[in-house]
């Protein structure tokens, strides 16, 4: 099996708002991006009572992999993310077009899910802005179990395998499935999170990585 391809420019972008679900999910710009070591809410959906009233937040995990060495679609591949602490959410892996290449994740990349502009604009918290059945490119099925004591080994589908071979830079966004992906507003009083490590942690023992099996 080839050596793993470790992530670069990976981290989370989070948007929080005191306005409403529509604003927090549909916005193209996050309040901040986090790349340092790890985060207990790499993927997050929250609706809480804050100092001045209600507050909503959504966090999305972005990862980039250099796949210039792969020119033929692999027989199979997995996205491997080391879990940390919380495991409240189901997730799904989507194709991303975040930028800039060769630099760090920016807060402006929060909405950078390929072909998601229209459904995100249609956000209403009742499913009108769902990403299901749209031209958004899914790279995995819904993942219903999140490990906090080891790696989450997410099987990638045929669309992902094709892009791994055809793109020099393979970019993904991992988001919550039940609320963010389906556009279902989370009830007040809830903070749901999945934590993970980033490549900036140091060394590679906890890094996200791409593993694959070439066609024989």
Q: 52 or 116: whose pLDDT is higher?
A: 116
* pLDDT above 70 (res 198): yes
Say how far apart CA 117 and CA 113 lie, in whole Å: 8
Is pLDDT at 102 greater than 70 in this prediction?
Answer: no
195 touches 63 (CB < 8 A): no
Mean pLDDT across 173-200: 96
Whether the per-residue pLDDT at 38 is higher than 80: the answer is yes
- 8-state DSSP, 4: P
Alpha-carbon torsion (116, 166, 59, 46), positive or negative: positive
Least confident segment among 28-37, 70-79, 159-168: 28-37
Confidence of residue 101 (pLDDT cuts 50, 70, 90): low
Predicted TM-score (pTM) of the model is 0.95
Q: How many residues does the chain have?
A: 216
Mean pLDDT score of the chain, rounded to an integer? 93
Q: How many whole angstroms separate alpha carbon 90 and alpha carbon 166?
A: 29
Average pLDDT over residues 180-188: 97
Identify whether the C-beta of residue 89 lies closer than 8 Å to the C-beta of residue 193. Answer: yes
Strand partners for 48: 55
Q: 3-state SS of 158-195?
A: HHHHHHHHHCCEEEEEEEEHHHHHCCECCCCCEEEEEE
């Amino acid at each position: 099996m080839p050596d793993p391809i470790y992530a670069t420019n990976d981290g989370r972008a989070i948007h929080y708002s005191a306005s409403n679900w529509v604003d927090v999910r549909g916005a193209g710009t996050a309040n901040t991006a986090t790349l340092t070591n790890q985060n207990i809410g790499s993927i997050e959906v929250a609706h809480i009572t804050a100092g001045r009233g209600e507050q909503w937040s959504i966090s999305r995990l972005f990862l980039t992999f250099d796949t210039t060495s792969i020119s033929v679609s692999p027989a199979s591949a997995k996205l491997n993310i080391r879990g940390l602490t919380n495991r409240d959410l189901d997730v799904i892996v989507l194709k991303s077009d975040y930028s800039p290449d060769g630099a760090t994740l920016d807060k402006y990349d929060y909405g950078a899910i390929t072909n998601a502009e229209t459904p995100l604009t249609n956000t209403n918290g009742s499913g009108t802005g769902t990403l299901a059945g749209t031209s958004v490119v899914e790279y995995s099925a819904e993942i219903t179990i999140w490990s906090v004591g080891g790696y989450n080994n997410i099987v990638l589908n045929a669309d992902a395998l094709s892009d791994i071979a055809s793109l020099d830079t393979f970019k993904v966004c991992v988001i919550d499935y039940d609320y963010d992906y389906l556009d279902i507003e989370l009830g007040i009083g809830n903070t749901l999170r999945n934590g993970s490590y980033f490549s900036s942690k140091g060394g590679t023992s906890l890094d996200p990585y791409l593993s694959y099996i070439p066609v024989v």
